[in-house]
Amino acid sequence: MGDAAHAELLDHEVYQKPFKVAPDFEFWDTPDNYRRSHIGDDKLPDKMKVWRVQNTGKDYGGVVARAYGFTDSPDAEVLALGFNRGKEYGAVGVGRHGNFLQWGYSAAPSKMTDAGKKFFVNCVCYIKRFDGKAPLVRTTSSHRLDALRLAALINRIKNKDFFSATFSSDLMEKYAADPNGLVQYYKTDFEMIYRDKVYRIDSELKSLGLDSNRGIDTLERLIGLLQDKTHADAARGLLTRYTNESFASADQWQHWLESNRDRIFFSDVGGYKFFVAPKGYLLPDSP
Amino acid sequence: MLGKHTLKGKSGCTVLTLCCVLVMIFAFGCRKKEQPQGSRRGSSTETTKPVPAPERVYQADTDEKINLRILYAGLPNTERAKDFTDFLAEHFAQVETIDYNTFKEGQSRGFDVVILDYAPRPNISREYSRATITVGVPGADICSSLSLKTGYL
């Protein structure tokens, strides 16, 4: 990452106080790496609206974090998309995870633009609100979008060991020369992707008629199925797969769900599990 | 007595008149200085040109710096560290510095925000929860070592 950020997130409060960040905008050519790594069906524009955070004149020196799964837990948020020439569009130039705010730009303040300086001061003030709020999840896995991104490379990376922790040997063999086919395989059951050593489609969940592994209604259905003798074992196995809980009875599961419903979230990055945010965590005090 | 008095009265009147003139000149002078402000206020509403919102909540006055205590962990005696601390001191009530090579998480006690500027991986536990800014590639490296989403990959 170099000097610039994309203009998308300027309505976030971190751009409003204590300083109003009002940058000058420019339109820069869309980098080729954005096109290469673009997963969606839409077409990226030829130019993108950016603003300069700093003025080093270099298009390197800073760093962005991967976009995939960054916001799949409520303890993390993107504060600036970094204009970069290495990763995907949407990669994070400035982001927060728990009590940590990563400022991906490289320059000291004297090389920051006026808007960049204000943004930095605002970031210092903003992160204060998250003092004592350590992250809820840690990165233990990679997001399901990574399955699609890597599937598109299946015929371009010749060292198959590269994919040994990504795709099963069966899939690698079947789609060795067909990246589009492999991408489509995961796209078709995108909501059923999980990781167990490699990216898998949850056929057990599908067989129960569920359409996603990450919705709160999935938890409700699985807990409900604990009362059904035919499916209770399968439901129990799936609850073990997707939570860190191990209640003995259906009533205990139900009580857990009802007590925490508003604070339950699912994170791919955290390990394809449902987690519960502690009470009060999601409502940081006003500054 | 009366003559003297009259004379005295005449000269008093002259002095009084001069004083009045001076006061009026002064008063009109002040008013002239004030008028443009008043007319600016008036014209800004009349022309419906929006008055830009103040960009700073905190004024430059040193008494009104942002009331946060900042611990800057950088590499001492470098231009970069000076650059950062000068900048931070402009805006924040208290800024202290420390060598990032000797930073221990316990030293963050008593500070509102810690800035780890280009610090190579300090020894930070997963229990550490002080509001902290990590900077640049080394910052992302710290985040990676703590398995944070803000990490390098």
Q: Which residues, in sequence order, are bridge partners of residue B92?
A: B66
Name the residue with higher pLDDT: B64 or B43: B64
How long a stretch of residues is chain B?
153
Domains of chain B by residue range: 1-42, 67-145
Rounded Cα–Cα distance for residues B138 and A105 (Å): 11
Position B58 scores a pLDDT of 36
Chain A touched by B143 (CB under 8 Å): yes
Least confident of A250-259, B50-59, B84-93: B50-59
Q: Cα A239 vs. chain centroid, distance in angstroms? A: 22
Q: Which of A22, A66, A134 sits opposite B153 (nearest CB)?
A: A66
Look at A66 and B143 and tell me if their CB atoms are within 8 Å: no
pLDDT band (50, 70, 90) for residue B26? very low
Rounded Cα–Cα distance for residues B91 and B59 (Å): 9
Domains of chain A by residue range: 4-128, 139-201, 212-278
Q: Which of A18, A99, A124 sits opposite B70 (nearest CB)?
A: A124
One digit per residue, pLDDT tens: chain A, 287 residues?
999 999 999 999 999 999 999 999 999 999 999 998 888 778 999 999 999 999 999 999 999 999 999 999 999 999 999 999 999 999 999 999 999 999 999 999 999 999 999 999 999 999 999 999 999 999 999 999 999 999 999 998 888 789 999 999 999 999 999 999 999 999 999 999 999 999 999 999 999 999 999 999 999 999 999 999 999 999 999 999 999 999 999 999 999 999 999 999 999 999 999 999 999 998 655 44
Rounded Cα–Cα distance for residues A165 and A197 (Å): 6
Name the residue in chain A with its Cα closest to that of B116. A102
Q: How many CA atoms lie within 13 A of A161 on its CB side?
A: 0
Q: pTM of the full predicted structure? A: 0.83
Best mutation target among A102, A112, A268 (most B Cβ atoms within 10 Å) is A102
Look at B132 and A139 and tell me if their CB atoms are within 8 Å: no
Pick the CATH number of B67-145 from 2.40.128, 2.60.40, 3.40.50, 1.10.540: 3.40.50
Q: What is the mean pLDDT of residues B66-87?
A: 96
Chain A touched by B75 (CB under 8 Å): no
Look at A101 and B133 and tell me if their CB atoms are within 8 Å: yes
